[in-house]
Amino acid sequence: MIQQVYPTVNHPYTFELNKDFNFSAAHFIPSEDAGKCMRTHGHTYFVNLTIVGDALDHNGFLINFSELKRLVHDQFDHYLLNELPQFKDKSPSTEIVAQTIFEIVQAHLNKYDNKPKCVQVYLRETPSSYVVYRPKEIK
Ligand SMILES: [Zn+2]
């Protein structure tokens, strides 16, 4: 699996979990000034999620690692992102994809009694380009 040092987040929580996974998807940026990104093309996106919290569930988990992958991978893998409801009327740029991943993950985490929080989504689109999305406030 990926061995990489990611940017770190300052937070006051006792537990921090990081999950790596990837998915393959196509997209295009629907704008004349996006250059060749206007044409449909594909990426293998590498994701690292950072989840924090003070309380664990009955298994001793902040959140099950495999659940985090399933949440995002099952919705995005081998799709044309522009056709997905999550990107309706949006440009599926790396920034917007990272923000959307955050929203999906945090909405899911909110269902748990131990209240885990997503504090960072790292999304690598190419070997030389990545985006980090962090919520303004940890809620
Ligand atoms: Zn692209």
How far does residue 86's CA lie from ligand 1's centre (Å)? 17
How far does residue 91's CA lie from ligand 1's centre (Å)? 11
Write out pLDDT tens, residues 4-35: 788 999 999 999 999 999 999 999 999 999 99
For residue 135, what are its two tokens? 């919520």
How far does residue 41's CA lie from ligand 1's centre (Å)? 6
Supply the pLDDT for residue 5.
81
Contacts of 32 (CB under 8 A, 6+ apart): 38
In DSSP notation, the chain reads: -------------SEEEEEEEEEEEEE---SGGGGGGGS-EEEEEEEEEEEEES---TTS-SS-HHHHHHHHHHHHTTSBGGGSGGGTTS---HHHHHHHHHHHHHHHHTTSTT--EEEEEEEEEETTEEEEE--SS--
Has residue 139 got a pLDDT over 70?
no
Strand 15-27 with 129-133, pairing: unpaired
Supply the pLDDT for residue 1.
57
Write out pLDDT tens, residues 32-67: 999 999 999 999 999 999 999 999 999 999 999 999
How far does residue 45's CA lie from ligand 1's centre (Å)? 10
Write out pLDDT tens, residues 84-129: 999 999 999 999 999 999 999 999 999 999 999 999 999 999 999 9
Query: Looking at the annotation, which residues are catalytic?
Result: 37, 78, 125
Supply the pLDDT for residue 4.
74
Count of CB atoms within 10 A of residue 24's CB? 13
Supply the pLDDT for residue 138.
72
Supply the pLDDT for residue 3.
65
Supply the pLDDT for residue 21.
96
d(CA 4, CA 116): 23
